[in-house]
Amino acid sequence: MPPYVFRKALSRPLALGHLFKPAVRLAHTTPRTLPEFTLEGKVAVVTGASQGLGQQILAAFAHSGAHGAVVDLKKSSAEESVSTLQKEIQEAGLPAAKLHGYECDTTSEEAVKSTWDKIVSDFGQVDILTMISVNLNGTFLFARAAGKWMIENGVKGNILMVSSMSGSIVNRPQKQSAYNSSKAAAAQLMKSLAAEWAPHGIRVNALSPGYIQTTANEGEEMEKLSKQWVNDIPMGRIAKPEEFRGTAVWMCSDASSYLTGSEIVVDGGYTVW
Ligand SMILES: NC(=O)c1ccc[n+]([C@@H]2O[C@H](COP(=O)([O-])OP(=O)(O)OC[C@H]3O[C@@H](n4cnc5c(N)ncnc54)[C@H](O)[C@@H]3O)[C@@H](O)[C@H]2O)c1
């Protein structure tokens, strides 16, 4: 019997209720959620996790019980990110997560292969790959390394590509056709891999954000543009990077066990108009 059914059965009024004390009592102050959201003991590899969205997603995984690898262009920034994440976990009063930083340019086939081998040797397993898809080739190379390893080792893992709403709409007023088309290609790669790897129990999905307040959107010109962007966002504001944490955990945990080949757009409503 699942634990929540069991708890419900225990709290049901019984004729002999006054003689019966439930064995399990949850304090009203305990924040509760579905157990399927946990990532306890999983190992997550997140590319581009030195800052921005990648760092937020790995933080969310670590809060949910996962260990993880920060993969980025520079070892120094990856290690700085590891320290930031460890501090956050410690301040939250949670058990320490095992976190390591790796230097890897995801567009280099050789670097992806050697980084992947090193991560597997350091952690002994990988259950989740989340890629900040800054480049289609890099996304393909890292997904291929992960998929190959998961299939060979019988790991029913999760692959999450962080794409963009720009894969399905054209942003305005700025011109960014190269970016938009690379995101559309990433979405199609995600769907193709989802179909090819579903028989192996591997789920592949994409999280596509709208505008986010990260360093990528800083500067005078971006500030001017963002005043126009908010007019097109029903929620009337740009997202904070931490607002993608919950969606990423849901998409990489058993809470989304029937989700594959899906693109989840989180955009404050931008794409409804
Ligand atoms: N910021 C936004 O408004 C926005 C909106 C929609 C989608 N997105 C998407 O979200 C993702 C994250 O965006 P962000 O704003 O956090 O970006 P960011 O620039 O803050 O972070 C990207 C990270 O990727 C790393 N990186 C870049 N090229 C790399 C490579 N070849 N190999 C390894 N690491 C590399 C960078 O060093 C950096 O740490 C991107 O895929 C972006 O396209 C962003």
Tell me the domain boundaries of the chain. Answer: 43-272
176-199: average pLDDT: 97
Cα of 132 vs centre of ligand 1, distance in Å, is 6
175 Cα to the center of ligand 1, angstroms: 18
Q: Nearest residue CA, atom 20 of ligand 1? A: 52
Ligand 1 centre to CA of 64 (Å) is: 23
How far apart, in whole angstroms, are the C-alpha atoms of residue 133 and residue 136?
A: 7
Encode pLDDT of 97-124 as tens digits.
Answer: 999 999 999 999 999 999 999 999 999 9
**Atom in ligand 1 nearest the alpha carbon of residue 164:** 7
pLDDT tens track for 59-82: 999 999 999 999 999 999 999 999
| Beta-ladder partners of 208 | 265
Nearest atom of ligand 1 to the alpha carbon of 74: 37
Q: For every residue of 83-149, which 3-state class applies, written as one string? A: HHHHHHHHHCCCCCCCEEEEECCCCCHHHHHHHHHHHHHHHCCCCEEEEECCCHHHHHHHHHHHHHH
Indicate if ligand 1 lies below 6 Å from the C-beta of 56.
no
- Does residue 271's CB lie within 6 angstroms of at least one atom of ligand 1? no
Q: Is the CB of 51 under 6 A from ligand 1?
A: yes
pLDDT of residue 17: 46
What pLDDT was estimated at residue 4? 45
Q: Model-level pTM? A: 0.90
Q: Is the CB of 215 inside a 6 Å radius of any atom of ligand 1? A: yes
- Of 47, 51, 53, best ligand 1 pocket probe by most atoms within 8 Å of the beta carbon: 53
Q: What is the mean pLDDT of residues 240-269?
A: 98
Active site residues: 164, 179, 183
Q: Is the pLDDT of residue 14 over 90?
A: no
43-272 placed in CATH 3.40.50.300? no
CA–CA gap between residue 206 and residue 265 (Å, rounded): 8
Least confident of 14-23, 27-36, 148-157, 253-262: 14-23
